[in-house]
């Protein structure tokens, strides 16, 4: 995603385009392994040394609220972030703190069909996300 595409998606959500917002968005795209706010800050400060910590948190919040990024949570860790590019689930490594995306169209279709047929009484489903917990093989 290029800088002007980022601008468009901000405008599309009725948000003002600012250098800080573009920087945060670019950082999340670049740091593609679910960076924390701190990772993002560290990366951005290379090019924007004076950006305020609170600004990065505010930008992450507004981007997440508008659905441009996702908040990802770990069992132990602080909040982490994820650009919303396509539907995917997450692989969580028990041993390390590694998180990877996992996309699986067949799985999604199966789940959609399942819940369409069954539903959950008293609850309207918006989204179903899998947390697949386990370990990455040593060779990785």
Partner DNA sequence: TATTAAAGGAGAATTATTCTCTTTAAGAAA
Partner DNA sequence: TTTCTTAAAGAGAATAATTCTCCTTTAATA
Q: Which of residues 38-77 bind a second copy (CB under 8 A)?
A: 71, 73-76
Does residue 103 bind a second copy (CB under 8 A)?
no
Judged by CB under 7 A, the residue of 29, 31, 45, 57 near DNA is 57
Q: How far apart are CA 91 and CA 87, in angstroms?
A: 14
Token output for 111: 């789940």
Does residue 139 bind a second copy (CB under 8 A)?
yes
In three-state secondary structure terms, 119 is coil
Does residue 78 bind DNA (CB under 7 A)?
yes
Does residue 86 bind a second copy (CB under 8 A)?
no
Q: How far apart are CA 63 and CA 139, in angstroms?
A: 36
In three-state secondary structure terms, 89 is strand
Nearest to 60 by CA among 88, 25, 29: 25
Give the binding-site size for DNA (rule: CB under 7 A): 27
Does residue 96 bind a second copy (CB under 8 A)?
no
Which residues of this chain interact with DNA, rule CB under 7 A? 10-11, 15-21, 36-38, 48, 50-55, 57-59, 61-62, 76, 78-79
């Amino acid at each position: 995603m290029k800088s002007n595409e980022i601008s468009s998606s901000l405008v599309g959500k009725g948000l003002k385009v600012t250098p800080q917002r573009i920087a945060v968005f670019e950082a999340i795209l670049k740091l593609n392994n679910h960076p924390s706010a701190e990772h993002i800050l560290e990366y951005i400060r290379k090019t924007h040394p004076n950006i305020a910590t609170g600004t990065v948190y505010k930008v992450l919040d507004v981007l997440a609220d508008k659905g441009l990024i996702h908040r990802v949570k770990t069992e132990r860790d602080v909040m982490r972030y994820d650009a919303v590019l396509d539907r995917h689930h997450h692989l969580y490594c028990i041993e390390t703190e590694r998180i990877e995306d996992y996309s699986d169209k067949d799985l999604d279709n199966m789940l959609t069909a399942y819940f369409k047929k069954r539903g959950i009484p008293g609850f309207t489903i918006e989204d179903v996300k899998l947390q697949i917990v386990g370990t990455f093989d040593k060779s990785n």
